[in-house]
Amino acid sequence: MPISQALYTGVTGLSVMSDGMSVVANNIANANAKGFKKDRAEFEDMLSSDLSTGGGGGQVGRGARMRAVRTIHTQGGIAVTDNLTDMAIQGQGFFVLNNPNTEVQESAGKFYTRVGSFVFDKDGYLSDPSGGHVMGFMAGKTGALSSKLQDVRIETNSIPPKKTDVVTMDVNLDARMKPVPGEFDIKNAELTSNFNNTINVFDSHGRSHPMTVYYKRMEAEEGQGPSWKWFATVDSKEVTNPDPESEAALVSSGTVKFSSKGLLEVEEMDESEGVNFIDGAEPGQIVKLDFGKNIGEEKGNGLNASRSISSKSVTNYHAQDGYEAGNIKTLKIELDGSIRGIYTNGVQRQLGAVALATFENQDGLLKAGRNLFYGTLDSGPPKIGLAQSGTRGAVYASSLEESNVDLAQEFVNMIMTQRGFQANSRSITTTDSMIEEVVNLKR
């Protein structure tokens, strides 16, 4: 092998060291870029030919070359921000972006990124700074998420009112109370009942109406537990057909029976034509009272349900399913990527969810600039789903992922690369000196 071959070998060393320095410089340049994933230069040697030597065969290399620049997808630190729509992924996965107007045609308009610096554009789409739309799953009217992957768009700025259908009660009715003589009289409700409580209910227009429920102890049958009648009433001024002789109007009524241990056994509601609230509200509104899961047909265990034991009558809990009209006040993003709207009427409703994509070989992804990646045959197809499902990580709102560049390590790599370049240049100058000696053989 001619001695001049050593010159070319040294040149390959200078070339790979230059490329390696470019990788190090790029990592340092992006050390503060949100979501940036550092690269690592990987080299390999080159063989030229086999030689026959006195001790047998031998091989002489021709230097080195760049084999690959590998992206290292390790987790970066999480930095808290004051922007709700900033999102960071803790764990595996990429946000999915839809941007058909891209320069990278191989991507088919689909990009993947770890940078969750998103905002809502003028059309309500959740977008990145380049205009790509974040993809996910939108919720229907019932709040259930669709299985169709689509651009995330929040356009539900208000919700209509909902009338009250069910009032949930958790009360204790004192088993020591004696039945009040006579029938319940709505004109003298306080005197013909043992206990009462009040809760606001809503009509179809979203108007609130205080509803008072009166409880009257009934005569217990032999061998049976306590039995109570209840009567739900509203102010007679709130209905269209009031009794002029009464200040209250009956909404609904029913019976609750308890076991000998005081556990809720049977719930019954009397047939009712419903109540007609004023100001054009939907007529015939029926309000049902639910006292919890009974131990009879509903197979309850007595927990989180009304009771009748020897303790002071008290309302432990009450709620109802109606509400007034409301406008969206703020958003809340959960760890599973779901986006919830919080409205001025206190209602929370699921509006959609951000999708995450994982790959069998994320090292096969190619960079498209702007901290975006696109899929290739080597990466395999994306597996898209909700955060915290499968191997996908969690989504943290008001946070951004930092670069995973370690500056200390990069400076060490810089020193090693510089010394490698210096050593290869020395091999060239030394080879030059050897060629000079050859030339000087002839004087």
Residues 202-213: tens digit of each pLDDT? 999 999 999 999
Whether 300 and 377 map to the same domain: the answer is no
Q: Is this model's pTM higher than 0.85 or not? A: no
Domain that holds residue 274: 166-320
Whether 141 and 184 map to the same domain: the answer is no
- Condensed to tens digits (0 to 9), the pLDDT of residues 27-86 reads 999 999 999 999 999 998 887 766 666 666 667 778 888 999 999 999 999 999 999 999
Domain end position, chosen among 288, 320, 352: 320
Whether 199 and 305 map to the same domain: the answer is yes
Whose CA is closest to 367, among 87, 63, 186, 111?
111
Q: CATH number, domain at 281?
A: 2.60.98.20
Q: In this structure, which amino acid lies at residue 206?
A: G
Handedness of CA 178, 183, 184, 185 (dihedral sign): negative
CA distance 304 to 291: 9
Using pLDDT thresholds of 50, 70 and 90, give the confidence band for residue 443: low
Q: What does the H/E/C string look like for 82-128?
A: CCCCEEEEECECEEEEECCCCCCHHHCCEEEECCEECEECCCCEEEC
For residue 26, pLDDT beyond 80: yes
Whether 231 and 274 map to the same domain: the answer is yes
Whether 303 and 191 map to the same domain: the answer is yes
- Condensed to tens digits (0 to 9), the pLDDT of residues 413-435 reads 999 999 999 999 999 999 888 88
Q: What does the H/E/C string look like for 296-338?
A: CCCCCCCCCCCECCCCCCEEEEEEECCECCEEEEEEEECCCCE
Whether 172 and 283 map to the same domain: the answer is yes
Whole-number pLDDT of residue 57: 61
CB atoms near residue 246 (< 10 Å): 15
Pairing, β 208-217 against β 394-397:
unpaired
CB 67 within 8 A of CB 58: no
Whether 181 and 266 map to the same domain: the answer is yes
Whether 170 and 316 map to the same domain: the answer is yes
- Average pLDDT for the chain: 91
Whole-number pLDDT of residue 140: 85
Q: Which residues of 402-416 are buried (b: 16+ CB within 10 A; e: fewer)?
A: bbbbeeeebeebbee
Whether 316 and 170 map to the same domain: the answer is yes
Using pLDDT thresholds of 50, 70 and 90, give the confidence band for residue 385: very high
CA distance 146 to 353: 10
Whether 397 and 409 map to the same domain: the answer is no
The owner of tokens 């109540």 is 275
Cβ contacts of 58 within 8 Å, gap of 6 or more:
50, 51, 52
Whole-number pLDDT of residue 51: 66
Whole-number pLDDT of residue 50: 65
